[in-house]
Amino acid sequence: MLSKVLLTGSTGFIGRNYYNAYSNNIRRIVRKPANNDANDTYLIESLTSKTDWKEALTDVDSVIHLAGLAHSKSYSNDDYTEINYLATVNLAKQAANAGVKKFIFISTIGVNGVETKDEPFRSSDMPNPHNSYATSKYHAEIDLKKISEESGMKLVIIRPTLVYGADAPGNYKSLLSLVKKTAILPFKAIHNERSFISIHNLCSLINFCLNSEEADGQIILASDGYTVSISEFTNTIAENLGRKLYQIPIPRSFFLLLGRLFNKEQMIGQLINDLKVDDEETRNKISWRPTKYKIETK
C-alpha cells in the first residue's frame, strides 16, 4: 500500500489550494461531515491537545500541518495556546510515535516580528513574535524541534509572508475590498518594501519540501522573491479588477498619528512599514524558486 500524506486544514484557504494542485495520495482531515467526500478523508471532532490521531496516521509517511487559528481579535490567548501550540505538539508526538518520516509545519513570518528596519528578516534572527497568534506558532516551533531531534522525524518549518490569491482571507481580503469600494487611496507617498507570496508559490514550496531532502531541518521564510510598496500592490489589484485607482500623497507621519490616536498602530504599520525577507538565504538553502504570478482578484 502506498504511504499517505496527512493534510490538516484541508478546507482552509491554503489547504484547499494545495489539495487542488497536489491531490495524489493525500489524506484530508476534515471537521464537518459535509466536507467528507469520496476521496481519502478522515473526520475529527475537533483539533485540540487531546485529539486522537491513531487511525488517521495509519500508513502515513508525511504530515503537512496547516490547521490552526488565524490571527483574529475573536480568539483569546488560551485559544491560540490550545490550538496552534498544544494541539500541534500533540499531533507531532503521535506522528513520531506512528513512524511518520517528515512533518511540515506552516508557521508565520510574525515569529520574526512585525516589521523590518535596515535589514530583512532571516531565519537565524532572534524571534520576536508580536502577538498571541505569532507567539503560539513560535512555541510550537520550539517543541517541534525537540520532537524531531528526539525521534528522528524530519521537520520543515515554513514562515510565509502575507499570502495573496483568489478568495484569500485576512489582510489581502481587506485590501481587495478597499480597492473595490473606492477609487482614491492615500498611499502615493508611501514607498515601503513588503514581501508577499502567491498562494500558488506557497503550495509549490510546500510540495517541494515534501518531496525533497534539501529543506529537512530548515526554517524557510517564504516569499515571491521581491518586494512591493503598498501603493504598487493596491495599484496592481485595481488594474486586475479593471478599475482606475488614484493615489494621493498623504505623509507617513499622518498615518502614524492616526494609528496612535485610534489605537490602530499595528494595523497601520502593516500598511506602511517595511517587512522584507532575505530571499538569497532561501535560495542558498534550497533549489526551489518562486514564479511571478498575476495578483488574482476573483
Strands 184-185 and 60-65: unpaired
SS3 81: helix
CA distance 106 to 15: 11
C-alpha cell at 274: 517595511
Question: Phi and psi of 141, rounded to 5°?
Answer: -55, -45
Active site residues: 133
CA distance 190 to 66: 33
DSSP of 267-290, one letter per residue?
Answer: HHHHHHS-B-B-HHHHHHH-S---
Q: Which residue, 133, 117, 200, is CA-closest to 165? A: 200
Helices (H), ranges, the chain = 13-21, 77-80, 87-97, 132-151, 170-181, 199-211, 230-241, 252-261, 265-272, 279-285
